[in-house]
Amino acid sequence: MGVDLMEKIFSLCKRRGFVFLSSEIYGGLANSWDYGPYGVELKNNIKRAWWKSIVYERDDIFGIDASIIMHPDVWKASGHTDNFFDLKSDCKSCKKRFKIEELNDKSKCPECGGPLTEARPFNLMFKTQWGALEDESGIVYLRPETAQGIFVNFLNILNTKHPRLPFGLAQIGKAFRNEITPGNFIFRTREFEQMEVEYFVRPAEAEKYFNYWVENRFNWYINLGIKKENLRKRPHSKEELAHYAVSCTDIEYKFPFGWAELEGIANRSDFDLKRHAQFSRKELTFFDDTTKERFYPYIIEPSGGVDRSFLAFLIDAYFEEKVKDDIRVVLKLHKSLAPVKIAVFPLLKNRSNLVELAKNIASDLKKSFFTLYDDTAAIGKLYRRQDEIGTPYCITVDVKSLEDKKVTVRHRDTMMQERIGFDSLKEYLRTKFED
């Protein structure tokens, strides 16, 4: 059933233009994906919903957008040069590469049964060259996480925003990891996007804010429609903690292939600021003007993946429903996430006055909502197409519309239909999207 659902999601994504294999005309780059016309909308809507909840609706978090390639010393300070390794083993017969922690029998290839090489550390950072010099001095990395771009801007924010504690910095951007075993569609890839907050707090308040962020982020997914039974919090055991973390809880989603991490919330202590102060020789403490104390704030980090939440939102919204003798596939996405908000159709495509009226209504609605006009199929088929991409409202213009100046609004989830006057249509839809 799980495998079956992944297949269905995969095929829907390709068929309807959510996600395509990267460089497909060249046979594709394995486990690398491009987002198509509806995929980019869903992705942008996820990022917008996150930014709204994290930056716009609060006074204590500021947004930034740092570069992907940073000074190489950043990765020495962060510990990535020394610690960002996975242990891997290669099969001597079929040459496939495996992550040691994923192998049950660490001496035999799980695919062909051949002998494995000794486990060797493999740094997950992508190396590249900065400028024309082909020597060691030009080696830089594509960032494996967006977090470090925030830490190195801590001082800039202190000097420009003069914030009081607690305060946070938020960033959405690409990250790169040379994963040994990418897979499960867009769940684990080598190029992906993260949404991260670094929240600076007084050390004594770190656990309080850690718990606060676990709840806050858990509820964000629930408020955007993820079913509660498909989401859980999983605290890390002491052995599992990353080198910088005091505590960490993952928010996991019940994917068709099992429970897996959507987002991690970590108490990173004062590790990052202390290390950057040591390596950069800059003063990165915070001076509290109420208590006259100077100290390194602790950092609470909610770190989520855009692509993983994309997959979870799609899976959670996917329904197959029996309608008469037919099966309708419908994505019951939250309205704020739906790629297309409204679709407008003329009931009869060969009646030019209906076509013109429908096109006029669509172009007026486009000013406020992402709206599509479509007359390329019969009405039943047009509805099904929009159901499959999760469009919350379809508007049909029929012959009667010419007389009573009303259209039929059809609701995606209930398939309920109602007649709404031209004059009140925009206001009606606006209130629906504000719900």
- Binding positions for ligand ATP, rule: CB under 6 A: 145, 177, 179, 188-189, 192, 194, 261-264, 303-305, 307-308
User: Which CB sits closer to ligand ATP, 275 or 335?
Assistant: 275
Q: What is the nearest approach in angstroms of ligand ATP to the Cβ of residue 429?
A: 33
Cα end-to-end distance, the chain, whole Å: 34
Residue 416 has what DSSP assignment? -
Closer by beta carbon to ligand ATP, 224 or else 409: 224
Based on CB atoms, which residue is closest to ligand ATP, 173 or 305? 305
Q: In one letter, which amino acid is 22?
A: S
Q: How far is the CB of 324 from ligand ATP (least distance, A)?
A: 40
Which has the closest alpha carbon to 175: 259, 86, 84, 101?
84
Instruction: Record the tokens describing residue 418, joined without a space.
Output: 């109602």
Cα separation, 363 vs 369, in Å, equals 10
372: Cβ contacts below 8 Å, ≥ 6 apart = 340, 342, 343, 344, 362, 386, 391
- Return the number of other C-beta atoms located less than 10 Å from residue 417's C-beta: 11
* Smallest separation (angstroms) from ligand ATP to the CB of 414: 33
Cβ nearer to ligand ATP, comparing 264 with 392: 264
In whole angstroms, the minimum distance from the beta carbon of 304 to ligand ATP comes to 5
**Roughly what angle, to the nearest 10 degrees, separates helices 2-16 and 379-389?**
120
- Residue closer to ligand ATP (CB basis): 183 or 203: 183
- Nearest to ligand ATP of 34, 320 (CB atom): 34
Q: Nearest approach, Cβ of 9 to ligand ATP (angstroms)?
A: 16
DSSP classification of residue 237: P
d(CA 83, CA 102): 19
CB of 251 to ligand ATP, least distance (A): 8
Please say which residue, 41 or 145, places its beta carbon nearer to ligand ATP.
145
Residue type, 65: D
Burial track 50-61 (b if 16+ CB lie within 10 A, e otherwise): bbebbbeeeeeb
Q: What is the DSSP letter of 37?
A: H
Residue with the CB atom nearest ligand ATP in the bound state: 305
Residue 156 C-beta: closest distance to ligand ATP, Å: 24
Token duo for residue 112 = 């062909």
Q: Residue 375 CB, nearest distance to ligand ATP (Å)? A: 39
| 44/285 with CB nearer ligand ATP | 44
User: Which H helix or E strand runs over 6?
Assistant: helix 2-16
Measure Cα distances from 145 to 124, 168, 206, 233 in Å: 11, 17, 22, 22
